[in-house]
Amino acid sequence: MRKIVTCRTLLIAVIMFNISATGQTPDTAQEIEQAPVIIFVCEHGAAKSIVSAAYFNKLAKERGLNFRAIARGTNPDPEISPKVREGLQKDGLVSSEPAPKKISKADLAGARRVITYCSLPDDYADKAQVEHWDDLLWESGDYNRSRDRVLERINRLLAELKSKQ
């Protein structure tokens, strides 16, 4: 017997995935569907973009901003950096992604903003307006210091987004 997946069933699955991936419950199902997406991209999708998306989502929610972030990589590693996973856990956060995921043109098409810590593939360059944060250094041996650098930028970005509402 074939099961028919209704829109409601699919929406519930998306909400449950979001809860398990982020540890945060959306206020409404509409929040997931309509929140403009910010994409953070780093080469391996395992550190900078993961930390950026996790903190962006936490701080945007705390400030009542209707945005959500996702993390992507141009050449993704098979798993999130163990130091990053451990650092996020100590900070009381989880990644918005269960594992690094490769950036796609579909991701770009739906994004409000794309922030990169690396270069996008050449055939992606004209698909979205890109803001480059590739001058931000990540010290793999010092999660806290690297996280704090990312947080400075995230806070400025959130202030800018709030001022445009």
All structural domains of the chain, each given as residue ranges with its CATH number in brackets, are: 1-34 (no CATH), 35-163 (3.40.50.2300)
pLDDT at position 29: 45
Residue 35 tokens read as: 């929140």
Q: Please state, in angstroms and as integers, the Cα–Cα distance from residue 56 to each residue in 14, 93, 94, 127, following that order.
A: 20, 11, 12, 23
Residue 137 has a pLDDT of 80
- Which is nearest to 71 in space by CA: 90, 99, 91? 99
Residue 20 has a pLDDT of 45
DSSP 31: H
Confidence at residue 33, expressed as pLDDT on a 0 to 100 scale: 54
Q: Token digits for 152?
A: 């400075």
114 φ, ψ (degrees, to nearest 5): -125, 125
The whole-number pLDDT of residue 11 equals 37
Which one-letter DSSP state was computed for residue 103?
A: -
Token couple for 45: 């999708």
Query: Any idea which residue has 């130091």 for tokens?
Result: 83
Positions in the chain whose pLDDT score sits under 70: 1-33
Could you tell me the CA-to-CA distances from 161 to 60, 68, 112 in Å, in that order? 10, 12, 11
